[in-house]
Amino acid sequence: MFGIVDRYLFLEVSKAFAAIVVVLLLIVISLMFLRTLEEVNLGGLSIDLVFRYLRLQMVRDTSSLLPPAFFLAMLVTLSRLARDSELIALNACGIGPPRIYRTLLLLAIPVALLTAWFALYLQPEAAGAIQEIRLQQKEQATQIAGLQPGRFYVEAQGEVVVYIGEIDRRKLLGDIFVLDRRGGNGRLVVSNGGRHRVEEATGDHLVTLNQGHRFDGNPGSGAFLIGDFEEYRIRIQGSGVKQPTSSKRATASTVELWSSSELADRAELEHRIAAPLAIFTLAMLAIPLVDISPRQKTGGRLFLAFLAYFSFFNLQRLAETWLGMGLTPSWLGSLWYQLAILGSVYLILLPDSFWIQRLNQRLAGRPTVGADGGRGG
């Protein structure tokens, strides 16, 4: 079933695929690491969770990296074989496009299975773990407009001024100063420690101070009320809008989405199915986008390859959005874009295709070389 040529193509595409995946992973991890450090700097994420958070993000996004990596690997490998005239040699030996199609589609099977494992099983689990980390960090949040130690924060249109001297690793506040002038009455509160959280229902900030002093009165009046307290809570009104949370559909298991009848759930399910299916579709796209002869001009096909690549993934997002919003009929689904891109590319390349050239040779009465080395007339 697998000859020398098949194993050779397997090895060349696999090496290119592994190299491209490693490069893409390094680029994505670098960008994620910078964004994660920014969140840590703003107090939105504990430094103890940085590497776990990065690992979960990588697991969640791997299924989106594998299809483009496989597509680029096939383009790079076939272009190199064409440049070295190896495709011409294979074609002269009777190993034409049908054999290459079969070999690369067989290679696509394990890659698609790996992608399906990430997309259908690991991705929702990683998304759920990321959401759990987000909720835990939000519960311990120290974010009033990106709360950081050693800075003053002005809230409620200048009527509330908050200063936090320090924030420890457990997200507890220290050396707190609050000036509250709401309602026409001045109130100065100082404390050695406290905590802060955001109320989910209203978006209000609740700052709780412990073991502090309170001074009530307006400057210049001479009438001040001074007191000590064990616990003092101040509410700073938020925007009145509930804080957004991550979509539950991204964390739902594939089985739950399969049994759901909502269009948004179906769009999420087809988004996961699209990743392994794209492996086969992109494999079918890559083969005709490479010219067999190195003497032929490759600029047009190279431009078509980039156009097909970007159109494929941009149209994917549009198709899933349209299905979730009900703009496309439910029977059509959101996977139609793969057939649309595949059909468009093959239609553009139809005049130069192997089968059309073979048909023209038969109609012209010239002998042809078959895909398996036989001659026909």
Per-domain residue ranges of the chain:
4-138+246-376, 157-236
Query: Which residues, in sequence order, are CB contacts of 6 under 8 Å at separation 6+?
Result: 99, 103, 106
Average pLDDT over residues 144-161: 68
pTM over the 0.85 mark: no
Cβ contacts of residue 205 below 8 Å, gap of 6+? 144, 155, 196, 197, 198, 199, 235, 236, 238
- Name the band, by pLDDT with cuts 50, 70 and 90, for residue 296: low
Residue 110 has pLDDT above 90, yes or no: yes
By mean pLDDT, which of 120-129, 183-192, 295-304 is the weakest?
295-304
| pLDDT, the chain, mean | 79
User: Cα(5)–Cα(65) distance, rounded to whole angstroms?
Assistant: 28
Q: Is 70 exposed, middle or buried (0-12, 13-18, 19+ CB in 10 A)?
A: buried
Q: Which of 62-66, 131-135, 255-259 has the lowest mean pLDDT?
A: 131-135
Q: What's the average model confidence in pLDDT over 343-348? A: 86
What is the pLDDT confidence band of residue 376, given thresholds at 50, 70 and 90? very low
